[in-house]
Chain A
Amino acid sequence: EIVLTQSPGTLSLSPGERATLSCRASQSVSGSKLAWYQQKPGQAPRLLIYGASSRATGIPDRFSGSGSGTDFTLTISRLEPEDFAVYYCQQYDSSPRTFGQGTKVEIK
């Protein structure tokens, strides 16, 4: 099983600032089969990024993903008020399709 470790656990930032979230895999994720999801309280997760760097339909371009192998990054270039949420990475390269434990982006 591929274990995904996200850091930091919590990120305290102000609107307008840049957010950088990390996801590290215990073994290589082939084909960059890594996704990022956003979850707000009381809501289902929403797909942001797939294939490590492709934005899902309707996702603003302030969200970007990068990385390959075992190290992946989600960047939010300028935080908007609606971006404060929990973010999860997920690998879908091998079974089981594991998720990271999440990074909470909170208002400073």
Chain B
Amino acid sequence: EVQLVQSGAEVKKPGESLKISCKGSGYSFTTYWIGWVRQMPGKGLEWMGIIYPGDSDTRYSPSFQGQVTISADRSITTAYLQWSSLKASDTAMYYCARSREAGMLHRSFDSWGQGTLVTVSS
């Protein structure tokens, strides 16, 4: 069974750094693209970026380029989303999700993590 298990909720202050995780299991982690999606409170879904764990090829949405860093550690089948300096506007639920087909970038997301709620408040 394909599973993506995300790290727990975080409460941070503006200016702090943060790295959240998404552990994949039940499939060949290195051969499927994994993406990150933001959902601000009461709002819709926003595609942030995507990584291919096999070679760490990473693509970002222009809206998030330079604001976050996406990475992956193949040895522990885990993808990451990190911030160097959080803002209050980063408060949101963040989901990781797997591309539906191995090796293919232009595919929908067929498996999703449960989400990580990030709250940034002074």
Considering the chains assembled together, what is the distance between the CA atoms of A37 and B37 in angstroms? 13
Contact B44 A99 (CB under 8 A): yes
Grouping DSSP codes into helix (H, G, I), strand (E, B) and loop, the A interface class, with mixed when no group exceeds half, is: loop
User: Using an 8 Å CB-CB cutoff, how does the interface string of B81-122 with A read, 1 for contact, 0 for none?
Assistant: 000000000000001010010000011111011110000000
CB-nearest residue of chain B to A48 = B108
A residues near B110, Cβ cutoff 8 Å: 47, 50, 56-57
Decide if A93 is an interface residue (CB 8 Å cutoff): yes
Q: Contact residues of A with B, CB < 8 Å? A: 1, 31, 33, 35, 37, 39, 44-47, 50, 56-57, 88, 90, 92-93, 95-102
List A contacts of B108 (CB < 8 A). Answer: 35, 47, 50, 90, 92
By the criterion CB–CB under 8 Å, are A92 and B62 in contact? no
Which residues of B are in contact with A by a Cβ distance under 8 Å? Answer: 35, 37, 44-47, 50, 59, 61-63, 95, 97, 100, 106-110, 112-115
The 8 Å CB contact of A93, one of B50, B62, B106, is B106
Could you say which of A46, A97, A98, A100 has the most chain B C-beta atoms within 10 Å of its C-beta?
A: A97
B61 A95 Cβ-Cβ under 8 A: yes
Given the known inter-chain contacts A35-B108, A45-B112, please indicate yes or no for A96 contacting B47, CB distance below 8 A: yes
Which residue of the partner chain A has the closest CB to B113?
A44
Identify A47's interface contact among B46, B47, B109, CB under 8 A.
Answer: B109
Contact, CB under 8 Å: A100 / B114: no
